[in-house]
């Protein structure tokens, strides 16, 4: 066995795949040569450990609260907690109301 000169796949820098490393690879049962220089390998490792990462734990099911529409009396659910003493509208009535009292600024924008 002898040292091998390899080229890093990531940064293109030449690096040495030493006999020691080759033996280590073989002992682990790896058949492939390393494709990255030691620096890039180390970088990759720290990236894998994940600074930031995208954890999706926050996107749970939306809360829904049962309401009785104060407009039409229909039962419905809303994604927010209804305030006591305040009129709550079902989805239909809410949409209707939204459409009927639109602010002026929205209507004249062509």
Alpha-carbon distance 67 to 86, whole Å? Answer: 11
Eight-class DSSP state of 36: S
- Our CB check for Zn ion shows the closer of 25 and 41 to be 41
Per CB under 5 A, 19 contacts Zn ion: no
Contact between 50 and 21 under an 8 Å Cβ cutoff? The reply is no
- Cβ-based burial of 66 (10 A; exposed 0-12, middle 13-18, buried ≥19): exposed
Out of 17, 21, 78, 93, the only residue in the binding site for Zn ion (CB under 5 A) is: 93
67 binds Zn ion (CB under 5 A): no
Structure-token pair, residue 15: 């690096």
In this chain, which of 71, 78, 82, 96 binds Zn ion, going by CB under 5 A? 71
Q: Does 10 bind Zn ion (CB under 5 A)?
A: yes
Binding residues for Zn ion, rule: CB under 5 A, are 8, 10-11, 13, 37, 40, 69, 71-72, 74, 90, 93
């Amino acid at each position: 066995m002898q040292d091998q000169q390899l080229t890093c796949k990531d940064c293109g820098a030449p690096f040495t795949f030493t006999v020691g490393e080759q033996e280590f690879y073989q002992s682990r049962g790896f058949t492939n040569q390393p494709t990255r220089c030691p620096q890039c390998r180390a970088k990759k490792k720290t990236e894998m450990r994940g600074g930031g990462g995208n954890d999706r734990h926050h996107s749970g099911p939306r809360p829904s609260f049962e309401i009785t529409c104060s407009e039409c009396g229909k039962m419905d659910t809303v994604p927010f907690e209804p305030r006591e003493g305040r009129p709550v509208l079902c989805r239909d009535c809410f949409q209707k109301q939204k459409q009927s009292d639109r602010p002026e600024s929205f209507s004249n924008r062509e």
